[in-house]
Structure 1
């Protein structure tokens, strides 16, 4: 991609998100989301492959439908209340439609159908961008309207996301699809808490982004796209294998890693608000995600690739792999230090 085009695309992605974060008007927020969507489509379609073109088309269609639904919801609310203020979403139908549009933009269940397919047809770097940066704007809007969100709606969406995210990831051998369902499950925890404790919901998505960023970057440097290639990490780069293992266990929410911190806080607040059954269901459904996280860590640390001369390995080291791993290791190990800092 030419440097000028890349710089313009990067500027559009950053500017679109900043517009959404800084605005208090629905039309400006819609404009920022549209700018963000238009900027990332060339990034998804830059590969000379039919799968990437298909992914870009699916992404465009779903985001366009979500944007139209968002515009209709904000217009309906302005018609009923006379205000375009984001924090004044008082109409119940507008609130429900807005939640549907934002969950479709993020890829939460039951409007998650596009996310695994789009991520599978994208590069690992683009996958990282979609699962982290592209979720900042919709999460910010959800945070801003959290006082007007009906808790029953978000609870149902959250439970479905945790269930589908765990169930869908079990049968996956492609790492990008597995991480897509992992993203759906983490969004479930965030959406469940957004109407009860918005600050903890924001903490949950921030910690998830700090975990997934070094994970995807390490996979990108080693060209790992399937579970089969994960078996070669330990023999070629033990540092990468250990760091990826810690990141996966943190995503699974095992103590004392930091992925356990937001889950513990969310469950605690649900119990405080007399939603003990809801908290129990979420904790049990998260065990589905734990299955494929532990399976991946087992492949990373307890298996070795075939060593016969006839076998071939899919390992493809990129230049300066060790230097990149050394630079990402401290960022990844941050996921161990958050919980003790919180308890202090």
Structure 2
């Protein structure tokens, strides 16, 4: 019964996103966002868990606020009069309000205040959905309205800055990945300055890396850095996969995470040189706290026994983790070999 309950809401969650993507009107896009929102809230809330209930209430309030302001701006666009058409500044402000509501739904800076707190109250699978699938519909809407303006450049700078600085003092793995997601959101928004296909490539690669690392954390019920340091003896292989996946998520070459950033740097360095340099410096800070975690987890030994029976049997979950980790770690090398072969 519980599985059917989850399956129904997951299917409507996917349907809401597909409605938004395939909609021809603003109201249809708004309706898809609402279906997506109302389907995700039952997935967040769990019985006998006050943290998930708090996260679901916070998520509903934030998303309902963003949806109401988005609906207001959509109605103003649909019913705009001749006088409003003549006011170019009013239209510009209206689109800025619409973009701000979408950025609030995405959790991009400076509208990021809810994102790490809500992820901290979820389990790993719900956090993965929030970091990946829940970004598709708002990003598609944003691709319709976004322009190369000072507003979006400011959002890119703030997202990369807050995403890198905010993750420095975190001991929670979920909050660390949340701030990393904010940093990656700045890179995804910068890909809009190139073309609409580039953000799709970046999003697919980011989603794949997030799935790879979240599956490992979920399999071992790891939520804190201390638990990462305790993986000793029989779990050296998983610790190796975790550290290299974190480096790939930070964008260290020659891992897969460096590939989309490489393309963005190459294409934007001619027109937005200072923005690209700032993004690179902020990404180096993100890479720094990933490197610090990797060095500590490898070098620090712990006498406490961290034992998990899953490692003693060859399960499908373990095979899938090994495959995704291998592609995430060697993705850029495999891509180079494929290009040379062609």
TM-score by length of 1: 0.89
* In 2, Cα distance between equivalents of 1:249 and 1:36: 32
Q: 1:56 to 1:315 in 2, by over 3 A?
A: farther
Partner of 2:67: 67
* In 2, Cα distance between equivalents of 1:280 and 1:67: 34
Partner of 2:290: 293
> Where do residues 314-329 of structure 1 align in structure 2 (5 Å cutoff)?
316-318=308-310, 322-323=314-315, 324-329=317-322
- Report deviation, 1:81: 7.8
Q: Which residue of the other structure, out of 190, 195, 198, is the alignment partner of 1:197?
A: 195
Deviations 1:222-278 (A, max 9, x none): 1111000001334232221222222111111111111111111111221122x1111
1:332 partnered with 2:325: yes
State the SS of the aligned residue for 2:136: helix
State the SS of the aligned residue for 2:254: coil
Number of equivalent positions = 329
Partner of 1:98: 98
- Report deviation, 1:196: 3.2
* In 1, Cα distance between equivalents of 2:313 and 2:188: 34
* In 2, Cα distance between equivalents of 1:162 and 1:128: 20
Q: 1:321 to 1:106 in 2, by over 3 A?
A: farther
Q: 1:166 to 1:259 in 2, by over 3 A?
A: same
In the alignment, is the contact (CA less than 8 A) between 1:253 and 1:260 conserved in 2? yes
Q: 1:321 to 1:224 in 2, by over 3 A?
A: farther
* In 2, Cα distance between equivalents of 1:253 and 1:321: 32
In the alignment, is the contact (CA less than 8 A) between 2:231 and 2:306 conserved in 1? no
Q: 1:318 to 1:104 in 2, by over 3 A?
A: farther
Q: 1:299 to 1:316 in 2, by over 3 A?
A: farther
Deviations 1:120-153 (A, max 9, x none): 011111111111111111112222334xx24321
* In 2, Cα distance between equivalents of 1:42 and 1:236: 37
- Report deviation, 1:105: 0.6
Partner of 2:281: 284
Q: Which residue of the other structure, out of 173, 185, 188, is the alignment partner of 1:187?
A: 185
TM-score by length of 2: 0.90
State the SS of the aligned residue for 1:91: helix
State the SS of the aligned residue for 1:301: helix
* In 2, Cα distance between equivalents of 1:142 and 1:81: 24
Q: Structure 2: 5+ residue runs without aligned partners?
A: 83-89
Partner of 2:155: 157
